[in-house]
Structure 1
């Protein structure tokens, strides 16, 4: 075998899947050709349903292409998948840890499965424990680890043998910024020290920016490839920062820009300002009118900017409904009550699980129409806080009032006034879109014409018309998210709880999602959200950062950045505040 062979070389790859219960064939990959040099770190990026996971599964020998050729480490995967699997490691999105087994027992199990000799294990384990910082937790059951630690253990189990190629399918989904940074340091170390070839699919474009090569996929096709700077060049001289007046939230200006697709390619809040990409052919007068005198300065393009230019151009070329995402018809939820009225009040809130204190003496309030963010590392206590606010978990002690109802005594009464969208798709996957809406509408007490009217409204608002009879579990990720939001808003709640709703979604889907949330907030809906995307904290009016069950920071994004020593962005602020707290505790 040729030692200088590319890590991966594919030519004219096609792969389709038959939809269960029908003869309809979905084309997951269409005529994809690419080459990944050995010893490099490369990224696959693209919207939900782009074909990234299918390509990785082909490379791992778990699927066979319908047409085309694919060689991994010089081996024809179709002819000898076992020979490929003997030399690579693959970490899927849901890596199979055994939660009842300890960290060490999981490592031993995967070493046994891969036939790693006993005399090799000690040195390998020591290296993995050093890289992942799990050495102090070898006796802890995997099920008791935080989300970030589970991902690091999954990576360690993937690496119990020394592979020549590592395939990672969105390894940092649902992982906080601190753990995400640590995971990437491990990957970078493997590439630099061991000349390991790594192919990673990711929804984070800042991660892809660290890679030698980036492959941009869309609807099963490769629409661009090259070094990050080549992708960035698509947005060269088109990127700017606008500074809205202090009285105007950045998300309000962002929404205004997104609603002007003839002039604007993309816009996103950043550090209290709005970063945007103008169209090259935008009318100068129309463009100037959007900013109403707000200062505008040019900035260098990022990989994400080039990515968004490519996708918007693809949308336009294929005559897709690009404008629908920018102009959602959603501000129809009627919310009664006074602006700035306190709708959630938390005082000295405590939640214990046996001797373990998950939330310790937390206090804050949330006002009507506010977007309020709960941030924290995996295992910080924010999900426990979130579940208590929703009425899904009783508090051990303290005062908790939501929508005028004391949740320590009347949780069921409050639930009729709140909507909830969970982190994982929690609807019935075997039911159609309409059947899910009918079921949950009935659960919320909607009947007859009222239910039919609300169903029609949310189907239109969330661009689900034409998907009514589609099986929910087979929808692409972006459509599943829309359906979950539609279900949560069926009964027109005054408070909406969102638990990491954009986890794993691409930038296009996140823009669409936040445009809708901004419209809801403007209509008076109060939004409580947990997220690991720190750019999303910029959409919030105020945020809380928790760790080890304690509240470390509360305030506007700007106030929190100042607390972190005038950090340039929320990610640096978050890491700084959490790291400082942990060092103080240590």
Structure 2
């Protein structure tokens, strides 16, 4: 019987999912609580929400990997419980950690997934050619997956998911940890697949500018849909509530402090030499300007993030800081003398030059952002500064120590937070803090004082006996920050400190990072969230080992030929693409 063309790709009504605790029913967890959601045929639908909102649970239900507790859930008119095998033949699911085989080549990974999906041998060459052309992987088919950049790995994962021409593609944060240029390329591939093949796509993403490219967006929190509609529909109510406030001689951090204390400001983020503010409903403009200490406010077009933040704040009334208010201790001393000095840095791995003649310096109280596409050399630069690998040539000083001769001494002056959780998962929060404190020579009363300080700062009270591996991603990040600060270092290295956490939690993290800078700590940070670069005092953009731009966020936007109210994402892509065009380098 022919399928009814009016049947949606996904149809959920009053869908509920409860994870039952058999030992203690009082601890049952409601992951989804009566949601209605539709993905039309040929539609590109985004699901956005904070950590623990229920996004992944919904996707796993659609795939038949979980069973609904109650409600309706159909895929192409088929029940996900009784018709799961038929559904599996028509969908592709790309989870957050897609299982590529690192020791196999691009071509071998494709062969493996083609075998798993039963793609006939005589159809493979044509499919491979199409997918390699679409993803730009054609020149690299013999390269091992483990040697690909983050962006190329995601392109390969997407190609593997598309190998059997699914009617529905389900993507759980497909661009997590991927730079803006690669993200743009991945979304171009997605849009092409929708346009050419009539494919339906359900995607969850932490990047709200990506969600804004979809046909429909569902904002979910604690298992409940807060709002749904086109991006234009969702942002319409905020068209007269978003403004730019010029700094008026203050720093961006001072402007953010003023905005966070203003009763008429619902949300605020740095932008160039000022701050972008979302005002509360019916706020008086003159009163809002007065609270911010500026003569006037300039209107800005709303973004999907404004709707997201407004709805989440109304639903959760989130905390502005992790724990107790921590008194800011100004320990800057002489903040005119750099504590990090990099001159003509070069790092080679055999014939490959990862960093090519890079120079910059960082003083106390600065937040310095190292930005670049995957494979740009920023992680190598980061690891050299942390004393983890030696430079090939050039001068590198950290806290007055020459890293050529005193790497161990330099490491004692810094704190380091890795991109991925690197503490001891099987041990408790308290054990991890004691261990890291002891590693830096803290014992007895000194250890207790240090632990009390970081526990209060990062809101870890009551969690000392909990296993570190049992924490959610947000609390794992808090614990990592706390461990890095146990010995009160003057320099802090943060590698993607807010990866895998939602925009609401990222705001709180950056308030904490700003306070650390106000205390006089020199902070070097890497991030793929370009809006976070606005929090930095200065940023440097690298690509393929070369320094492309360095300066304040406003100066970098000017270098890209953009106004300070433009997004940093736009400036980054423009600078990187201009370099690639000038150097005659094809995107990969």
**TM band (smaller chain):** over 0.9
- Alignment of structure 1 residues 356-371 onto 2, 5 Å: 356-371=352-367
- Alignment of structure 1 residues 28-177 onto 2, 5 Å: 28-177=31-180
Distance between the aligned counterparts of 1:21 and 1:333, measured in 2? 47
Confirm or deny: 8 A CA contact 1:90 1:158 kept in the other structure: yes
Distance between the aligned counterparts of 1:482 and 1:159, measured in 2? 37
Confirm or deny: 8 A CA contact 2:101 2:145 kept in the other structure: yes
Confirm or deny: 8 A CA contact 2:289 2:295 kept in the other structure: no
- Secondary structure at the counterpart of residue 32 of structure 1: strand
Q: CA RMSD in A?
A: 2.1
1:538 and 1:109, CA in 2 relative to 1: closer, same or farther beyond 3 A? same
Distance between the aligned counterparts of 1:232 and 1:570, measured in 2? 20
Distance between the aligned counterparts of 2:397 and 2:221, measured in 1? 45
- Secondary structure at the counterpart of residue 389 of structure 2: coil
Deviations along 1:376-409, whole A, 9 cap, x unmatched?
Answer: 1100110000011011111122211101111122
Match of 1:536 in 2: 532
Confirm or deny: 8 A CA contact 2:73 2:79 kept in the other structure: yes
Report the Cα offset of residue 174 of structure 1: 0.8
- Secondary structure at the counterpart of residue 322 of structure 1: coil
Report the Cα offset of residue 289 of structure 1: 3.2
Distance between the aligned counterparts of 2:187 and 2:353, measured in 1? 30
- Mind listing any 5+ residue stretches in structure 2 that lack a counterpart? none
Q: Does 2:314 correspond to 1:313?
A: yes
1:516 and 1:20, CA in 2 relative to 1: closer, same or farther beyond 3 A? farther
Confirm or deny: 8 A CA contact 2:328 2:518 kept in the other structure: no
Distance between the aligned counterparts of 1:342 and 1:456, measured in 2? 31
Correspondent of 2:234 among 209, 227, 231: 231
- Alignment of structure 1 residues 476-515 onto 2, 5 Å: 476-515=472-511
1:25 and 1:426, CA in 2 relative to 1: closer, same or farther beyond 3 A? farther
Correspondent of 2:464 among 465, 468, 475: 468
Deviations along 1:105-157, whole A, 9 cap, x unmatched?
Answer: 11111111111011211111111111111111111111111111111111011
- Mind listing any 5+ residue stretches in structure 1 that lack a counterpart? none
- Alignment of structure 1 residues 286-325 onto 2, 5 Å: 287-316=288-317, 321-324=318-321
Match of 1:344 in 2: 340
Distance between the aligned counterparts of 2:258 and 2:476, measured in 1? 26
- Secondary structure at the counterpart of residue 538 of structure 1: helix
- Alignment of structure 1 residues 151-230 onto 2, 5 Å: 151-230=154-233
Instruction: Indicate the larger mover: 279-288 or 435-444.
Output: 279-288
- Secondary structure at the counterpart of residue 374 of structure 2: coil
1:489 and 1:83, CA in 2 relative to 1: closer, same or farther beyond 3 A? same
Distance between the aligned counterparts of 1:251 and 1:217, measured in 2? 31
Match of 1:585 in 2: 583
Distance between the aligned counterparts of 2:193 and 2:256, measured in 1? 39
Distance between the aligned counterparts of 1:236 and 1:271, measured in 2? 21
Instruction: Indicate the larger mover: 24-33 or 268-277.
Output: 24-33
Instruction: Indicate the larger mover: 335-344 or 491-500.
Output: 335-344
Distance between the aligned counterparts of 1:343 and 1:22, measured in 2? 54
Q: Does 2:428 correspond to 1:432?
A: yes
Confirm or deny: 8 A CA contact 2:429 2:467 kept in the other structure: yes
Confirm or deny: 8 A CA contact 2:332 2:521 kept in the other structure: no
Report the Cα offset of residue 334 of structure 1: 6.2
Report the Cα offset of residue 570 of structure 1: 2.1
Distance between the aligned counterparts of 2:123 and 2:244, measured in 1? 53
Distance between the aligned counterparts of 1:333 and 1:493, measured in 2? 13
Instruction: Indicate the larger mover: 437-446 or 186-195.
Output: 437-446
- Secondary structure at the counterpart of residue 250 of structure 2: coil
Report the Cα offset of residue 572 of structure 1: 2.2
Match of 1:280 in 2: 281
State TM-score, norm by structure 1: 0.94
